[in-house]
Amino acid sequence: MSIMQTVHLNRFKPRPYQIPIMDAILNKGYKRVLCILPRRAGKDVCAFNTMLRAALKKIGVYYYIFPTYSQGKKVIWDSITNSGERFLDYIPSELITAILGIFLIHPHSCNSINALPQLDVFPNAPPG
């Protein structure tokens, strides 16, 4: 017997120009989008929350990739938005099973893994 749990992801309120980006991925089935936005426009916050919603919709492994691990750590673990929230604050606590260095592992309700891989381990990897 499985128990259905409702999770509310209501901490993130997308700005008007972020809504079409999220809609394209979450509702229209786009696999890739190109966002050209200025600094401080919320690109990472929008992408992170889109990835979180996608992970809850469909089981899978979701990578959030940065050029170096230190950049990823600064954004995901250390940065604070203009409203004073950390990235990890957008994930409801009932979804987090463990934070293991670079992994966020979600519980049995969705079985998805969000990972922040360490790309600078492969310095000779081709770009892209």
Condensed to tens digits (0 to 9), the pLDDT of residues 61-79 reads 777 888 887 888 788 878 8
Residue 80 scores a pLDDT above 80? yes
Residue 114 CB coordination number (10 Å): 23
pLDDT at 58: 83
Q: Which H/E stretch holds residue 49?
A: helix 43-57
Residue 12 CB coordination number (10 Å): 19
Burial readout 35-64 (b: 16 or more C-beta within 10 A, e: otherwise): eeeeeeebeebbbbbbbbebbeeeeeebeb
> Considering the entire predicted model, what is its pTM?
0.75
pLDDT at 98: 64
pLDDT per residue as tens digits for the range 33-45:
999 999 889 998 9
Bridge partners (DSSP) of residue 98 are: 105
Q: What is the token pair recorded at 106?
A: 């979600």
